[in-house]
Chains A and B, each alone.
Chain A
Amino acid sequence: GENVEQHPSTLSVQEGDSAVIKCTYSDSASNYFPWYKQELGKRPQLIIDIRSNVGEKKDQRIAVTLNKTAKHFSLHITETQPEDSAVYFCAGGNEKLTFGTGTRLTIIP
């Protein structure tokens, strides 16, 4: 089955700086890669996703890049704000999603 690894497990950045979270996957058949944000005690919420026919996707301050050859994808958050503090999960799959272990992002004011 699919195996998704996520790094780093924790990340602290100064407000206004950029944050990058990286994930790798094992199954070359995986074709869908969403990113979810989960605030403490709340449900995971989709923030951006990418499909394997696209290399990069951007939505305001958030972007995701996908390298199918290397089987890795990354989340980029620019101009970070305190409200970006949360746990971020990557996921990948084809018939079903496998989630990474999460990155706790802390924005330092």
Chain B
Amino acid sequence: EAGVAQSPRYKIIEKRQSVAFWCNPISGHATLYWYQQILGQGPKLLIQFQNNGVVDDSQLPKDRFSAERLKGVDSTLKIQPAKLEDSAVYLCASSPSGPPTDTQYFGPGTRLTVL
């Protein structure tokens, strides 16, 4: 079965610019997650979708980050405007169903560098 797909794999932008990341989960997976992984740290959950509804976005910096999951399949994560501290790998993950007590499968990530 195909894994979680993400694009682009790498992105370099200047601070205050905007950027968008795309994720295509494993077919049939109801739950989709966006994580931020800063170098040397573990992944931090930004937002969790169940189908096309938001389950948890308590750690999403809503003044600059936004995410959507149209039709309960693909998802996009946007940063506008970017700050230096947003430099990180953005990981998308999906799981077959409900709460996270279900195996999460990660995509390859998008490495963002903000200059």
A residues within 8 Å of B by Cβ? 1, 4, 6, 31-32, 34, 36, 42-46, 49, 51, 89, 91, 93-102
Contacts and interface: CB of A to CB of B under 8 A. Distances in A.
Nearest to B45: A96
A42 B37 CA distance: 12
B109 A97 contact: no
B48 A99 contact: no
What's the dominant secondary structure at chain A's contact region? strand
Interface stretch (B17-25, B66-74, B79-87, B99-107): B99-107
What's the dominant secondary structure at chain B's contact region? loop
B107 A43 contact: yes
Interface string B41-67: 111110010000001101000000000
List the 3 shortest-distance A-B pairs measured between CB atoms, nearest first.
A99-B42, A32-B101, A43-B106
Contact of A32 (B42, B100, B109): B100
B108 A95 contact: no
A49 B43 contact: no
Contacts of A93: 100-101
Nearest to A99: B42
Given A42-B108, A96-B56, A91 B42 contact: yes
